Amino acid sequence: GWLDGYVALVTGGASGIGRAVVKRFIAEGCTGVGVMVRSAEQVDGLVAEFGDKVVVSVGDVRSPADNVAAVEATVARFGKLDTLVGNAGVWDFFARLEKMSTEQVAESFDEIFGVNVKGYVLAASAAAPHLRASGGSMIFTLSNSAFYAGGGGPLYVASKHAGVGLIKQLAYEFAPDVRVNGVAPGGTVTPLRGPASLGKQEKRLSEIPGFEDSVANAMPLKFIAQPEDHTGHYVLLASKANSRATTAAIIQSDGGWEIRPMR
């Protein structure tokens, strides 16, 4: 495989795109994958499926200590770290600014930016020394909302745009030792949840009535993605042999948002 002997860490790896990346990385030859998950209930399913190829850490990506613990558990078990995949995220279910009280805006900002932006920076910080040592790379999951309006509300869209700046600045700071890139999926069938601050922590994107059809119809490529559809991009960007000259790049895997027709 393209990742023979690699060791990776994936945040938000219990479900959706993160879990598909874990599975694909193991299929591509990873010795082991650290998986950071939000709750203890998410551990058993991963261990049942992947056995001793995974080491699972329960934590909150907004916590510095939890990020350090996930990195250390991965390195303690598998001996090094080649690839960090920052992926844990929350969506805002299109929450428009004027539908929220000013107080809710403040709370939701802290929650959404806490997970989607601070979570990525903290993972990068915790993984940095090991990635410098291995000559590895970081890959962050962005979104069509990293480039375009309309895929969420202002808080989610701004948080994903922030990810673009983070990737560029980290790529700049870590060159030439560590490459830093991103994958920007579009609408994908996952259980992506909302923020507790908007009372949407149990609400799942895949449960929105008509969501799959409306995404498929809006996209030039005319289908809604499954998590597996994005995983080849992560493999490519992780692989030193296949993307050695690529840093500060973001691969769009969004069904063609750029070329959406007017009608």
Q: Is 156 a catalytic residue?
A: yes
- Residues near 192 by Cβ (< 8 Å), separated by ≥ 6? 16, 89, 90, 91, 204, 205, 206
Q: Report in angstroms how near the CB of residue 244 gets to ligand NAD at its nearest.
A: 26
Q: Report in angstroms how near the CB of residue 89 gets to ligand NAD at its nearest.
A: 2
- Select from 191, 217, 222, 242 the one that contacts ligand NAD (CB under 6 A): 191
Q: For residue 10, which of 164, 166, 138, 169 has the smallest C-alpha distance? A: 138
Strands (E), 101-178: 137-141
Kindly tell me which of 134 and 253 has the beta carbon lying closer to ligand NAD. 253
Q: Given the rule CB under 6 A, which of 13-21, 100-108, 128-136, 242-250 is the region that contacts ligand NAD?
A: 13-21
What's the rounded Cα separation, in Å, for the pair 17 and 45?
Answer: 15
List, in sequence order, every residue forming a beta bridge with 213; answer none if it has no partner. none
- For 146, counting Cβ atoms within 10 Å of its Cβ (0-12 exposed, 13-18 middle, 19+ buried), the class is buried
What's the rounded Cα separation, in Å, for the pair 217 and 263?
Answer: 10
Q: Report in angstroms how near the CB of residue 114 gets to ligand NAD at its nearest.
A: 7
- Select from 7, 26, 30, 88 the one that contacts ligand NAD (CB under 6 A): 88
Q: Report in angstroms how near the CB of residue 240 gets to ligand NAD at its nearest.
A: 24
Kindly tell me which of 83 and 143 has the beta carbon lying closer to ligand NAD. 143
- Select from 12, 34, 136, 182 the one that contacts ligand NAD (CB under 6 A): 12
| 108 lies in the binding site for ligand NAD (CB under 6 A) | no
Segment 192 to 221, residues that bind ligand NAD, using CB under 6 A = 192-193, 205
- Residues near 59 by Cβ (< 8 Å), separated by ≥ 6? 36, 37, 38, 65, 66, 67, 69, 70
CA atoms within 13 A on the CB side of 193: 15
What's the rounded Cα separation, in Å, for the pair 250 and 167?
Answer: 9
- Select from 43, 45, 62, 154 the one that contacts ligand NAD (CB under 6 A): 62
State which residue has the least CB distance to ligand NAD: 16
Question: Using CA atoms in the order 157, 163, 165, 169, what is the torsion angle rounded to 10 degrees?
Answer: 170
Kindly tell me which of 124 and 192 has the beta carbon lying closer to ligand NAD. 192
Q: Which residues are catalytic?
A: 156
Binding site for ligand NAD (CB under 6 A): 12, 14-18, 38, 60-62, 87-91, 115, 141, 143, 185-188, 190-193, 205
